[in-house]
Chains A and B, each alone.
Chain A
Amino acid sequence: NAGVTQTPKFQVLKTGQSMTLQCAQDMNHNSMYWYRQDPGMGLRLIYYSASEGTTDKGEVPNGYNVSRLNKREFSLRLESAAPSQTSVYFCASTPQRTDTQYFGPGTRLTVL
């Protein structure tokens, strides 16, 4: 049982490049979330998915898209990366009928 996994761990992009951050959980959780964490800003919700096939915007969705591929996987895509998207990205998931979130190890992204 690996919990919540994220790939890659680190990534450097140039402005305008695209990439997809991958997240998977093997705990049969229903809800999944993508956050970004910046110094002094705390964790901010980008997108979340309450169940397979549904996604909703969070606090800071601009510049991102998501896909809930199946119950296990929730990916975050940057279509045209900008330096303002330099951050640490965390994926989280929640078991059914609870509101406790469990976090993945994070992806540290730098956009030059």
Chain B
Amino acid sequence: QKEVEQNSGPLSVPEGAIASLNCTYSDRGSQSFFWYRQYSGKSPELIMSIYSNGDKEDGRFTAQLNKASQYVSLLIRDSQPSDSATYLCAVNNLRGDFGNEKLTFGTGTRLTIIP
């Protein structure tokens, strides 16, 4: 079983709609969760971090965390063509042991926004 799992996609969403990306993780002790966006040929760029159960909103992006069910999701409202990218979920189970943090990444979900 992979430690961090994502549906590879592609996920196609009409412009203006809500894109929903999901991620599950296997280590119940995981404490920090991240969403990165990666455009083709570019490096990962941090979009959101979330540490507590519930929702965290930042502009058009909302991260949702449910530790009991071991999943984290990313919602993108009013999707734009510029949101077309691969979205990587990352998990850290050593938060607090600063200096030894290691993120485990999922393989990413490719999102395409259709104009």
Contact = CB atoms under 8 A, between A and B. Distances in A.
Nearest to B95: A99
Contacts, number: 53
B102 A90 contact: no
Interface stretch (B39-47, B52-60, B64-72, B73-81): B39-47
B27 to A, nearest CB: 14
A41 interface: yes
B30 to A, nearest CB: 11
B99 A51 contact: yes
Range for the number of chain A residues in contact with chain B:
20 to 34
Pick the most buried of B49, B102, B106, B107: most chain A CB atoms within 10 A of its CB. B102
Contact of B98 (A41, A97, A104, A106): A97
Contact of B43 (A30, A50, A90, A99): A90
Q: Interface residues of B: mostly helix, strand, loop or mixed?
A: loop
A15 interface: no
A64 B44 CA distance: 22
Q: Interface residues of A: mostly helix, strand, loop or mixed?
A: loop
Contacts of B43: 90, 103-106
Contacts of A45: 102-103
21 contacts: A30-B99, A31-B101, A40-B8, A40-B107, A42-B88, A42-B105, A42-B108, A43-B105, A50-B100, A90-B43, A90-B44, A94-B101, A97-B98, A99-B94, A99-B95, A100-B46, A101-B103, A103-B43, A103-B44, A104-B43, A105-B43
Given A42-B107, A100-B49, A101-B90, 4 more contacts: A44-B105, A96-B98, A101-B46, A103-B45
